[in-house]
Structure 1
Amino acid sequence: MTVIVRDFRAGDAEGFARIRHLALPFMLSTPEAITYDAANAHPDAHFQPLVAEEDGELVGVAQVGIVYDSPQPGQGYLNVYVHPDRQGRGAGSLLLRIAEERLSALDMTRFFVRVVDEPANRSFAEKRGYLPRRSAHFLRLDLATCTLPPLQEPPADVELRTAADFADDPRPLFDLDAETLLDEPSDIAHEFTDYEAWLKETWHHPLLSHELTSVAVVDGRPAAFSAARTDGGTRYGTVMTGTARAHRGRGLAKLAKNDSLHRARAAGFTEAFTANDAGNEPMLAVNKWFGYEICATEVQHVRELS
């Protein structure tokens, strides 16, 4: 049996999404989203999705690219996923090697890879020269059976809206997203400075639900938000929840997220997912208050090239 690695093609989207879901079921993934990401990645990202085939069957996939929105140059990422029933047959190693060659050709000197915190996965990364860095938790909430906190009346100067209310001009949401991103714990610094790129990669992304993304507005400006994604079925996830610095300490992020969760359950979603850096204690406390439970942990590893 022979394993080969090649570039992603449009016809691979369904298999790509299936393998990613089997390997990492806590993140939403659909064929439409895979196709959209491949077609709409920023040119500076040099996004290169790869697939591994064994005798014509898709057995592994990888997402490879440059962290183009970081102020620190030379950083690339490569995340490898192998079908659980096809592990140990060389697909992961080959995907990793080809991905590293692609990044080296782009003069990247720091490679980041995320692996689920299990002994075999960590050993795979560390044997190939990757050292563990920060960890992050995936959390799950059973929306079908949980008892959500009751909806609260917002303070007198706060209005709850949805992202759909900003359809004509989402720029204020971009500004809020960019500000909150600066305080997100991470090994990689990111900065949102390109509004047009944000529109393509975030605002128009097929997984983003404008109707379920809740926004707390103060004096006509977004002050806090909880961005929601859905898979078109029963799974819903919040991918960013944050508050502008000037409005922190008032519970507005919790207010927005509670509103979004209630909207999601009313719309028929039965599972809620989110993820937090393991050191982000304030947000972990908020999610624990809602009833989320940690279902897995992922460890980011880095390999530095001299």
Structure 2
Amino acid sequence: MPTVRPATLADAAAWADVVTACSPYLVQDLASTEHGMRTEPAAVRRVVAEQDGRVVGVGRLHADPGEEHVTMMLMVAPEHRHAGVGAALLTDQLPAAAATGSTTVRSIVEDDDDSRAAAAAWGFTLTRRFAMSMVDPRTVVAAAPPDGVRLLPLSDLPPRVIWHALSAVMRDDPSGLSTPMTFGEFQDQWADPRMRPAVGRAVLVDGELAALSVLGVAGERAWSDMTGTLPAYRGRGFARLAKQHTLVAAAGAGVTRAMAGNDDANAPMVAVNRSLGYAVFAHAALGVRALP
């Protein structure tokens, strides 16, 4: 049987390897994993499952203060599935999840037979559905902005301005997975090596920030962390413009696969991605289970 223990910084490489093997779209590497382990809030609980001295599964539990949900990630290396690794990780994490005072635990469930069967066996009900899509950014051509509109790299803006904008737009994510951050938490995330402020783009209208697109990059892969328009500027195509120019900048930085995940109910962003050439290549669902 696998042994479950707290994760340490020495496990970062193995953690990144398991995540990469399990997910075709999560953009994470050693440097990003190490940064997360060093800076994430104390409310985060990471554990690993070992078999014969090798890390074969990982688990991460995160409870935001005041939230009714606690978020859990469980991943088992494909060649070690059906051996009780996932069950061991879940058994270890559930008491910690219940101790937060939250009423439910939620987790992203991949759209494959193994993952769906495990989620059902562990008492999770699949609710919201997500589409994962991808585009080669080298195929995207940036349109010239209209009069009075400028595009700037996010690195040209003060971090606090970006934080305020993200706090405003993430409330509209229908999945409920985009939770508000304190400025300190944002600063930690902004310092993650996978974040590329010089690649992400902001749309300014008459000098005011109207929309932005944030990208995380690891090697030739990129993940769209957030694209959105502030409420006063919606309906004018600024989110598409920001993402379009971000993708062109990503191509210039060597990215060949730019990926995004969208709740099926997020019709405006699904339409933006489709117009930019994104094609769906995978699905996932939100699994929810009540806590005792």
Give the distance between the partners of 1:197 and 1:78, measured in 2 at CA: 19
The aligned amino acid for 2:201 is S
In the alignment, what sits opposite 2:216? Answer: 229
Change in Cα spacing, 1:214 to 1:187, as seen in structure 2 (3 Å) is: closer
The alignment partner of 2:271 has SS state of: helix
Indicate which of 154, 159, 169 corresponds to 1:180: 169
Deviation at 1:8, TM superposition (A): 0.6
Alignment of 1:205 onto 2:204 = no
- The structural deviation recorded for 1:187 is 4.1
SS in 1 for 2:106: strand
User: What is the TM-score when the length of structure 2 is the normalising length?
Assistant: 0.95
Give the unaligned 5+ runs of structure 2: none
Q: Aligned AA for 1:162? A: P
What is residue 42 of structure 1 aligned with on the other side? 41
The reply on whether 1:84 has 2:81 as its aligned counterpart is: no
1:139 aligns with one of 125, 133, 138: 133
> Quick check: 2:98–2:291 contact (8 Å CA) kept in 1?
no
Deviation track 1:138-169 (CA, whole Å, cap 9, x = no partner) reads: 1111335xx32x32221111110011111xx2
C-alpha displacement at 1:211, in angstroms?
Answer: 0.7
Q: In structure 2, how many angstroms separate the alpha carbons of the residues matched to 1:295 and 1:134?
A: 17
Q: Which runs of 4+ in 1 moved over 6 A?
A: none
Rounded to whole Å, the distance in 1 between the matches of 2:167 and 2:63 is 19
State the Cα RMSD in Å: 1.5
Work out whether 1:160 is the aligned partner of 2:151.
yes
1:189-215 deviations in Å (ceiling 9; x for gaps): 7334x22221122x2222110110100
Counterpart among 269, 274, 277 of residue 263 in structure 2:
277
Correspondence 1:288 to 2:274: yes
1:274 partner letter: A
CA distance in 2, matches of 1:286, 1:188: 20
Partner of 1:195: 183
Identity percentage of aligned residues: 28
Aligned-pair distance for 1:120?
Answer: 2.6
Q: Distance in 1 between matches of 2:209 and 2:176?
A: 27
Alignment partner of 1:53 is 2:39: no
Matched-pair contact (CA < 8 Å) for 1:133–1:187? no
Secondary structure of the 2:274 match is: helix
Give the Cα separation in 2 of the matches to 1:73 and 1:273. Answer: 28
Query: Counterparts in 2 of 1:6-155, with a 5 A limit?
Result: 6-43=5-42, 46-68=43-65, 72-144=66-138, 147-148=139-140, 150-155=141-146
3-state DSSP class of the match of 1:161? strand
| Equivalent position of 1:249 in the other structure | 235
* 1:224 shift after superposition: 0.3
Q: Distance in 1 between matches of 2:291 and 2:169?
A: 31
Work out whether 1:300 is the aligned partner of 2:286.
yes
Which TM-score applies when normalising by structure 1?
0.91
Contact 1:38 1:47 in 2 (8 A): no
Q: How many residue pairs end up in the alignment? A: 292
Distance change (3 Å), C-alpha of 1:188 and 1:262 = closer
The worse-fitting range, judged by mean Cα deviation, of 33-42 and 270-279 is 33-42
Q: Give the letter aligned to residue 160 of structure 2.
A: R
Q: What residue ranges of structure 1 are gaps of 5+ in the alignment? A: none
Indicate if the aligned counterparts of 2:25 and 2:223 stay in contact, CA closer than 8 A: no
Instruction: Tell me the SS of whatever aligns to 2:44.
Output: coil
Amino acid at match of 2:152: R
Question: How far off its partner does 1:108 sit?
Answer: 2.7
